[in-house]
Amino acid sequence: MAREERKWNDRFLAYMEMIVNHPNYKGLPIKRKDDGSLAWIATAKSEIGQKRIEWCLNKADELGIERRAGVYADVMLRIHPTKWKVCQTCGNEMSLYYHYPNANFVKAINKKYSTDFTDCDHISDIWDKLIKSGVNEKEFADFLIKKGELDLNSSSATKDIIIESLEYKCRKGNKSLLGPGAMSNFPDRYDGFHTYNRCCRSAQDKGRSKENLKSYTKDRRAYEYWSDGNIHAADQFMGSSFFEGTSADHIGPISLGFVHDPR
């Protein structure tokens, strides 16, 4: 069956040109195809992918970001000129910060306030709409502070401060209340983020549809090729915050018999 090629949204094409021509990305390699379009995608193993990685690590040193798990995500977010990314599929913009409620959190909000927000509503918009509909601002502030276990006081902390610390805790800490408008994906994507945003994620990536997301941290292949490793611990580790903003990988392919093991 021939795979139909997705047509990229015009706004995404303009976004790619904006990024590539922005001084923040000076020296980050990208090629143009014969038809003049940008070769946005490159695998980590390709020559261009390797050069992108080298560029990113040097940029990390320049910015004083430590070379450890999640370093690509940190660098690419830091240098992104707008922090808003256009969706390749629908052309809408979403924040690159962890600004959108994840499934369970949006469910909790909707249950508490009898609303119908989705996981693509920005937390700042949710805040504004709730207050506008008559919810007490301090009460909602307390709700977020409690959910996020934030070290803040609703009497003194502003909306911006509360959202900022909740965002940071979800991005860098161990809270999963909020998620980003687009997941990190460097060096595969030039700007370091998936081409499609949160809005079109489950439709585009068949392997990560909503039902499959729940079991994503379990690497099924491990069971097929290896039955005596420290599999559960490895799964836990892959799904842990250590790999937040990056993806866990094995030393060698599981299909060739490499161990799925946390070590």
Which residue ranges make up the site for Zn ion (CB under 5 A)?
A: 87, 89-90, 197, 199-200
Residue 186: name the closest of 42, 89, 78, 88 by CA.
Answer: 42
CB of 170 to Zn ion, least distance (A): 21
**Given the DSSP bridges, would you call strands 178-180 and 98-101 parallel, antiparallel or unpaired?**
antiparallel
CA-CA-CA-CA torsion for 17, 19, 23, 26, nearest 10 degrees?
-90
CB of 149 to Zn ion, least distance (A): 32
Residue 213: name the closest of 196, 195, 233, 198 by CA.
Answer: 198
CB of 198 to Zn ion, least distance (A): 8
Cβ proximity to Zn ion: between 82 and 136 the closer is 82
Point out which residues pair with 122 in neighbouring strands: none
Cβ proximity to Zn ion: between 140 and 196 the closer is 196
CB of 87 to Zn ion, least distance (A): 3
Classified as helix, coil or strand, 117 is coil
Cβ proximity to Zn ion: between 5 and 35 the closer is 5
In one-letter notation, the amino acid at residue 85 is: K
CB of 196 to Zn ion, least distance (A): 6
Cβ proximity to Zn ion: between 199 and 222 the closer is 199
Q: What is the Cα–Cα distance from 124 to 158, expressed in whole angstroms?
A: 12
C-beta separation of 123 from 101 below 8 A = yes
Cβ proximity to Zn ion: between 184 and 197 the closer is 197
Cβ proximity to Zn ion: between 89 and 165 the closer is 89
Cβ proximity to Zn ion: between 89 and 184 the closer is 89
CB of 108 to Zn ion, least distance (A): 25
Query: Within the chain, where are the H helices?
Result: 10-20, 47-63, 71-79, 103-113, 123-132, 137-147, 159-172, 201-204, 210-213, 220-225, 231-238
Point out which residues pair with 180 in neighbouring strands: 98
CB of 202 to Zn ion, least distance (A): 11
140-166 burial: b if 16+ Cβ within 10 Å, else e: bbbbbbeebebebebeebebeebbebb
Residues near 170 by beta carbon (within 8 Å), at least 6 away in sequence? 98, 148, 176, 177, 178, 179
